Chain A
Amino acid sequence: MLLSVRDVSVRFGAFEAVSGVSLDLCENQWLMLAGPNGSGKSTLLRAISQAVPHTGSVAIMGRDARAMNASEIARCVGVMAQSHPAGFGYTAREVVSLGRYAHRRSLFSPGDPDGSRLVGEALERVGLAALADQRITTLSGGELQRVFLAQVLAQDPRVLLLDEPANHLDPAYQRQMFALIDEWRMQPGRAVISVVHDLSLARRFGTHALLLHRGRCAAQGEIDAALTGENLARVYGMDVTAWMRELLSAWEN
């Protein structure tokens, strides 16, 4: 078991963004977090990575996350946020290198011999080798998205938490990045949780799903059992599958 989340709630003042959610994540799973806007998907991810205070418990590879420091967590869990800051003109390579921070922290430790190789590989895999030394302030939204995906790959964690990984990506890169993540999570000892709005992507790549509605778990389980038309209709308040088919029909003839 890579992650074990028990009865996690997150409160912002009087508003409870996540209420009593539990989940387990095992090797090679890709858990899709789905749900309407404001249902608490990103907040749940942030609670798992200990970026917001929460009640309930999160165990990362069997250890209580509260007892772990930031770099211990970072060696197990890599997070890609929904939007990316691009202040100051750092180069893509500098941003990706930061992913190695937790592996080469202390002043007297022997350093990170694999660091620069992993950074180079990560840049290569997201198709940014040619732009590695360009300043991030000059990159497009999709390129920036790939820079931060490369950072989290260079971080080499056991679990990836991805908030909207398809953001800003054109269809070609969407396909390439999802294939990349799919391949990544199939290796031993790894798993992925991602927030996706595109439910077709969720069905196509997810092994499991957790459907959130107003901070609560509305359905949970294997992908086909959790993301049923019935569950989606209940949560989104519309016939989602009919809408998907209608969109698809625009491509017929």
Chain B
Amino acid sequence: MPSHFRPRVYLLFALLLLAVMLLCICMGSVAIPLSDTLTALVCALFRKPVPEGIARAIILGVRLPRVLLGGLMGAALSLSGAAMQGLLRNPLADGSTLGVSSGASLGAVIALAFGASLPVFSFGGVVAMAMLFALLSMLLIFSLAFALDKSLATNSIILIGVIFSMFASSLMSLIIAFAGERVKTITFWTMGSLSGAKLPQCALLFAALVLCGGVILLHARELNAFAIGEDNARSVGVRVRRVKVLVMLAVCGLVGVCVALGGSIAFVGLVVPHITRLVAGPNHAKLLPASAVFGAVFLMLADLLARTLLSPVELPVGVVTSMAGSVVFVVVFYRARKAG
């Protein structure tokens, strides 16, 4: 069934991503001319010195990493969401359904509240703790799932994920209640933010996206089968349990890294796949790549809004994604319904 996109469409996607990236680099508290941005990027690409008079530090040191991280994270989150919605045949699922994002958040909150950090880790304590906790919660969730239900039935997975999330959230609330003056920092972090993005972080997320995203993209046919029905998937020959474990591991990896780097940015993974499905149809061979592209565009633009709307005050990007996401979704959904 994979009627893939034509190469032309992929070219279009690439141009779209590039255009949005440039827009987001140019716009901000200090507006930068497009020519300066292009010059700086090209010089950096070919390792040449950037000419005088160009705001090199802003373009390459601040905006580029932030825009890149936003794009990568948007792609990762909506790819995960699309995969989980198909796999669990549940329109309310996304990458956070499995509970790993709550686990990662818990790790970050502990680090923020107690200043705990792991030695020898260049990304700093919060990221390291969040990654560690993402990994631990992944192990815990999978062993719980296998112990309770060997067949890994969809309902058991959703239940375990939701219950684990609640447990982690309650621990977080407990810590926040005793966090004193650090409450503000913690709250801001849990709403998600891309400020303080660095290029090594982008590289890490890029690696995760290639690896885990690759696993997800290679399972487009299987995800179609799951989206139609798990029993049907089994009877046409899908190795149901193996595919489930592989896809869920990939999603956990992606979401864990995302939360560690940018906090739990809500709504991207839930809404972008739905909007994409209205445009590209439910076939995962098209839905997955298109979701990744739209997710990247969506989060880059949302972050642009977050940092320019009330400049110099910066909004938490999670708030912007939730607000903008719901409005965009209602509009698109309404139009699609009207068009039939």
Mostly, the A contact residues are: helix
A87 near B228 (CB under 8 angstroms)? yes
Is B282 on the interface with A (CB-CB < 8 A)?
Answer: yes
Interface size class of B (residues with CB under 8 A): 20 to 34
- Bound complex: CA A87 to CA B232 (Å): 12
In contact, A88 and B235 (Cβ under 8 angstroms): no
Contact A84 B229, CB 8 Å, known A90-B283, A98-B224: yes
Q: Which B residue sits closest to A46, measured CB to CB?
A: B231
Residue of B nearest to A155 (CB): B236
Q: How far is the CB of B181 from chain A (nearest CB, A)?
A: 48
The interface centre, meaning the residue of B89, B228, B235 with most chain A CB atoms within 10 A of its CB, is B235
Stretch from B5-13, B24-32, B116-124, B237-245 contacting the other chain: B237-245
Bitwise, B214-232 to A at CB < 8 A (1) or not (0) is 0000100100110111011
A148–B1 Cα distance when bound, in Å, is 15
Cβ distance A227 to chain B, nearest Cβ, rounded Å: 27
B231 and A90 contact, CB distance less than 8 A: no
Which residues of the partner chain B approach A74 to less than 8 Å between Cβ atoms?
A: 235-237
CB of B224 within 8 A of CB of A90, answer yes
Q: How far is the CA of A94 from the CA of B221 in the complex (A)?
A: 10
Q: Are B234 and A70 in contact (CB under 8 A)?
A: yes
A89-B281, A99-B236 known; A51 and B231 CB under 8 Å?
yes
CA distance A28 to B231 in the complex (A): 26
Which residues of B have CB within 8 Å of A78?
235
Whether, in the assembled complex, B277 has its beta carbon less than 8 Å from a beta carbon of chain A, the answer is: yes
Knowing A90-B283, A94-B283, A107-B218 are in contact, say whether A85-B236 is a contact too (CB < 8 A): no
Residues in B with CB closer than 8 Å to A101 are: 221, 225, 236-238
Nearest B residue to A105 via CB reads B237
- A49 interface contact, C-beta 8 A: yes
Classify chain A's interface size.
20 to 34
| CA distance in complex: A3, B89 (Å) | 33
B86 surroundings in chain A (CB, below 8 A): 88
| B-contact bits for A84-104, CB 8 A (1 contact / 0 none) | 110111100111011101100
Output the nearest chain A residue to B281 by Cβ-Cβ distance: A89
User: With A85-B228, A89-B281, A90-B228 given, is the CB distance from A69 to B239 under 8 Å?
Assistant: yes
Once the chains bind, are A73 and B237 in contact (CB under 8 Å)? Answer: yes
A233 to B219, CA, bound (A): 51
Closest to A85 in B: B229
Q: Which residues of B contact A72 (CB under 8 A)?
A: 237
In contact, B239 and A85 (Cβ under 8 angstroms): no
A70 engages B240 (CB within 8 Å): yes
Q: Which residues of B contact A152 (CB under 8 A)?
A: 235
Interface string of B263-292 (1 = CB under 8 A from A): 000000000000001000111000000000
Closest chain-A Cβ to B243's Cβ sits at a distance in Å of 10
A214 at interface, CB cutoff 8 A: no
C-alpha gap A93/B224 in the complex (Å): 13
B-chain residues with CB within 8 Å of residue A39 when the two chains form the complex: none
Contacting pair B237 A94 (CB below 8 A): no
Which residues on A sit within 8 Å (CB–CB) of B89?
85, 87-88
Q: Smallest CB–CB gap between B115 and chain A, Å?
A: 47
**Inside 8 A of B281's CB, which chain A residues have their CB?**
89
Determine the distance from Cα of A186 to Cα of B231 in the docked complex, in whole angstroms.
Answer: 28
Interface pair B235/A79, CB less than 8 Å apart:
yes
Interchain CA distance A69-B243 in the complex, whole Å: 13
**Min distance, Cβ B332 to any Cβ of chain A, angstroms:** 15
Cβ contact within 8 Å between B234 and A81? no
Question: Which residue of B1, B229, B232 is within 8 Å of A97 (Cβ)?
Answer: B1
Looking at B228, B231, B236, the one whose CB has the most chain A CB atoms below 10 A away is B236
Residues of chain A within 8 A (CB-CB) of B224 are: 90, 94, 98
Indicate whether A71 sits within 8 Å of B239 (C-beta atoms), given known contacts A85-B228, A88-B228, A107-B218.
Answer: yes
Contact of A88 among B1, B218, B237, B277 (CB under 8 A): B277
Across the interface, B282 reaches (CB within 8 A) one of A69, A90, A93, namely: A90
Contacts of A90 in B (CB 8 A): 224, 227-228, 282-283
Instruction: Tell which of A70, A84, A88 touches B239, judged by Cβ atoms closer than 8 Å.
Output: A70
B83 to chain A, nearest CB (A): 13
A98 close to B225 (CB less than 8 A): yes
Q: Is the CB of A98 within 8 A of B228?
A: yes
Contacts of B235 in A (CB 8 A): 49, 51, 74, 78-79, 81, 152
Cα A86 to Cα B229 in complex, Å, equals 8
Contact partners of A51 in chain B: CB under 8 A: 231, 234-235
- B residues neighboring A (CB under 8 Å): 1, 86, 89, 218, 221, 224-225, 227-229, 231-232, 234-240, 277, 281-283
A interface residues (Cβ-Cβ under 8 A, vs B)? 49, 51, 69-75, 78-79, 81, 84-85, 87-90, 93-95, 97-99, 101-102, 105, 107, 148, 151-152, 155
Chain A to chain B contacts (Cβ below 8 Å), 10 pairs: A49-B234, A70-B234, A71-B237, A74-B237, A85-B229, A88-B277, A90-B227, A101-B237, A151-B236, A155-B236
Beyond known contacts A81-B235, A155-B236: 10 more, CB 8 A cutoff: A79-B235, A84-B232, A87-B227, A87-B228, A87-B229, A90-B224, A97-B1, A98-B232, A101-B225, A101-B238
